[in-house]
Amino acid sequence: MKMERTKEQLSAINSRGKNVLVSASAGSGKTSVMIERIVNIILNKEAGIDEILATTFTKLAAEEMKQRLLKALKQSGSKDEFVLKNIRNLPYADISTIHSFCVNLIRKYFYLLDVGADFKIIEETDASQLKQEVIDFTFTNLYESENPTFLRLAKKYTRYRQDTAFKNYVLSLYNYVESEKDRFGFLKKSLKYYCEQGTKELLQSFYEMKKGEINDLLPHLFALKDYKSEKWDKFSLSIEQMISSCYEFSENIEKAKDLSGIEFSLPRVLKLTEEEKEKKEYLKVCKEKLESVFSSFKEFVSCCENTEIIELAGKDYSDLADVVEIFSQEYSQVKRDKNVLDFADLEYYAIKLLSNEQTANEVKNKYKFILVDEYQDVNSAQEYIIDKISNNNLFLVGDVKQSIYGFRGCNSDIFLNTKARFLNGEGEYIELKENFRSAKNVIDSVNNIFSKVMTENLMGIDYKSSPMKYGGLYKNYDGETKLYFCEKDETDEENNLETYDLLQDAFSENNFAFKEGEQVLSIIKENVGKDYYDVKSGSLQKISFSDITILVRSMGNFTDKLIKYLLKNGIRISCQNKNKEPNYPEINVLIGVLKLLIRLSDVPLAIALKSEMGCLTEEELCRIRLNFPTGTFVEAVKNYDKNDEIKDKINAFFSYYDNLRLKAEFENA
């Protein structure tokens, strides 16, 4: 049964003629909204699929969007030739990651760049290795040339005649600015903070951040002040001193400096009730938080007011930026010689192309509609690219609360700044707050936690003013959220200094204390067999083992220990293996065939032809290429015109391939 659209979803689907930013909470149906928007555009003949650009964060998401769009267009039942043509063209649609869009752009306009037409893209691991080789080469040259700036830094940052740390500083700074649209302009711009006026700006920003933390702490102190009990009054003076200090700190930066480093004391009160003990622990946490704010502010003030240190740091930073630029030039030259690009280059060269107004206008005129998914995770370079190719036709979708790629240079402030501009009249801002994925109590629990931690002062988000709403799909079943506290294991393995015995560990019985494993096992047994409401069937179902998911922080030693414990206690586990298996030939063949079903391309086609699916030998593949030496390998196969055994194998292969393609439209892998 098709779910009825909310007013906000309909606005997002039907809005035209202006830029739109959609803030879509988890489970709010953002992907289905994007699909329906594209379907409506095509059905209403506002644009063809070749006039639409949709970018996603991963290749998997892009392929899923294509499949869902194909299904939706077919289910529309339209027999119009325009719609049918777009269905046929869907495999070639510009629905991809932003990196894939950049690749296509560079391949089309390569002649405007210092890039070969047949450039290859190297994986991150290969790029890291290449960077290491180049940094070693660069440092050797700088040592030999006795560059005075470099030698001064090397003397300062080299430890025990090892310059590894120094090299890592250079690489870290280079990696940091890779995602900026003007890499070295960004580095030079940052120099402004290494002077008197710059440190004043930094100090003011830091003060505002700390003031925000204090404002978030005040409601907790007031709640403790209002608490009444027989012995709690003895804590009143301490609480009032903390509240008074908070107000004084927030008045102005000079008063905040005077308060820095202050500490508070709590009275020693005996024979407290259990509830009073809990409140005292709560008060201790608030006290420690407040002291931490004052202490960190004092330390920052001390650094900012030491002009000698600031000047020295500025000199180091400036010289370090010069070394980074020298490394960048060497790295770029090596990549040119090898005719390769890394992922950061894709955005860099796309920006260079789009800085040319003629090129930018050509790309801009191609697309009538541009959709960007996971907009909260774009970086400044990607934002520049999006801006240069758009023409009041953007549809941006994201959720700033789900921004998790800051370590890759992604900047959630871009989303917040765009929101501010659109609310000020530059576009339309739409919020999808209804969650259709989770039960009511789950949503209430998330809202309760997020409202306390996602504040304007701490994160630039006032979550409390716009929380998620329950979508109402679970009828009378509200669900539940539980928080479990585990005792610490009696044996601390980190402090166990006995010699590790591999055989003993592998074959030992469960003779160790594992409280967290016991807790997980208990939760599983407690819930298996209980009723839960299944939204798809609209009925109560019994919870089975396959309905339970365990999320862990990382696939490390703890996870291995947990798996071993659950298996030993009769719980069957399906676990994502951290070891990749595509190195096996059979898996490579399978992946190649699956890629081929999505789109005919050279490498997957060669893999499939050489497999049992095509039964061609390497020698026969070479003969196919020699028969048609120009163009792609796909063209060489299709243009093979000799009436021999190879031609028969090709015909048999494509007959089988066409059947698989037909099945792929209706069945999953």
Domain of 613, CATH number, reads 1.10.486.10
One domain, residues 274 and 210: yes
- Note the pTM of the prediction, 2 decimals: 0.70
DSSP 8-state secondary structure symbol assigned to residue 198: H
Q: What span, in angstroms and rounded, lies between the C-alpha atoms of 354 and 360?
A: 5
Q: For residue 444, what pLDDT is reported?
A: 94
HEC assignment per residue over 482-535: CCCCCCCCCCCHHHCCCCCCHHHHHHCCCCCCCHHHHHHHHHHHHHCCCEEEEC
One domain, residues 106 and 134: no
Mean pLDDT for the stretch of residues 196-220: 89
Question: What is the band of 409 on the pLDDT scale with cuts at 50, 70, 90?
Answer: low
One domain, residues 44 and 144: no
Q: For residue 580, what pLDDT is reported?
A: 47
Among 583, 602, 637, the domain boundary falls at 583
DSSP 3-state of 91: helix
Mean pLDDT for the stretch of residues 316-329: 92
One domain, residues 325 and 371: no
In a domain, 189, yes or no: no
The per-residue pLDDT for range 513-530, each reduced to its tens digit, is 688 899 999 999 999 999
Q: What span, in angstroms and rounded, lies between the C-alpha atoms of 618 and 607?
A: 10
Q: What span, in angstroms and rounded, lies between the C-alpha atoms of 428 and 269?
A: 58
Mean pLDDT for the stretch of residues 476-493: 77
Q: For residue 371, what pLDDT is reported?
A: 97
One domain, residues 426 and 281: no
In a domain, 29, yes or no: yes
One domain, residues 43 and 137: no
The per-residue pLDDT for range 253-267, each reduced to its tens digit, is 988 888 766 888 889
Of residues 64 and 601, the one with the higher pLDDT is 64
One domain, residues 318 and 174: yes
Among 370, 405, 434, the domain boundary falls at 434
Asked whether the beta carbons of 232 and 273 are under 8 A apart, the reply is no
Q: What span, in angstroms and rounded, lies between the C-alpha atoms of 190 and 201?
A: 12
Question: What is the band of 511 on the pLDDT scale with cuts at 50, 70, 90?
Answer: very low
One domain, residues 566 and 635: no
279-285 long-range CB contacts below 8 Å, 24 or more apart?
279/224, 279/227, 279/229, 279/232, 280/235, 282/220, 282/224, 283/224, 283/235, 283/238, 283/239
One domain, residues 579 and 595: no
Question: What is the band of 503 on the pLDDT scale with cuts at 50, 70, 90?
Answer: very low
Question: What is the band of 475 on the pLDDT scale with cuts at 50, 70, 90?
Answer: confident
375: domain CATH number? Answer: 3.40.50.300
The per-residue pLDDT for range 442-457, each reduced to its tens digit, is 999 999 999 888 887 6
CA 640 to chain centre: 45
Domain of residue 160: give its range: 121-179+309-338
Among 305, 320, 351, the domain boundary falls at 305
In the structure encoding, which two tokens stand for residue 38, read together?
């594209």
Question: What is the band of 109 on the pLDDT scale with cuts at 50, 70, 90?
Answer: very high
600-605 long-range CB contacts below 8 Å, 24 or more apart?
600/634, 601/634, 602/632, 602/633, 602/634, 605/633, 605/634, 605/637
One domain, residues 326 and 273: no
One domain, residues 31 and 57: yes
In a domain, 187, yes or no: no
Mean pLDDT computed over every residue of the chain: 87
Q: For residue 512, what pLDDT is reported?
A: 52
Question: What is the band of 550 on the pLDDT scale with cuts at 50, 70, 90?
Answer: very high
Of residues 578 and 479, the one with the higher pLDDT is 479
In a domain, 569, yes or no: yes
How many domains does the chain contain in total?
A: 6
CA 613 to chain centre: 38
User: Residue 490 above 80 pLDDT?
Assistant: no
User: Residue 500 above 60 pLDDT?
Assistant: no
- Phi and psi (nearest 5°) for 668? -85, 175
In a domain, 66, yes or no: yes
One domain, residues 81 and 143: no
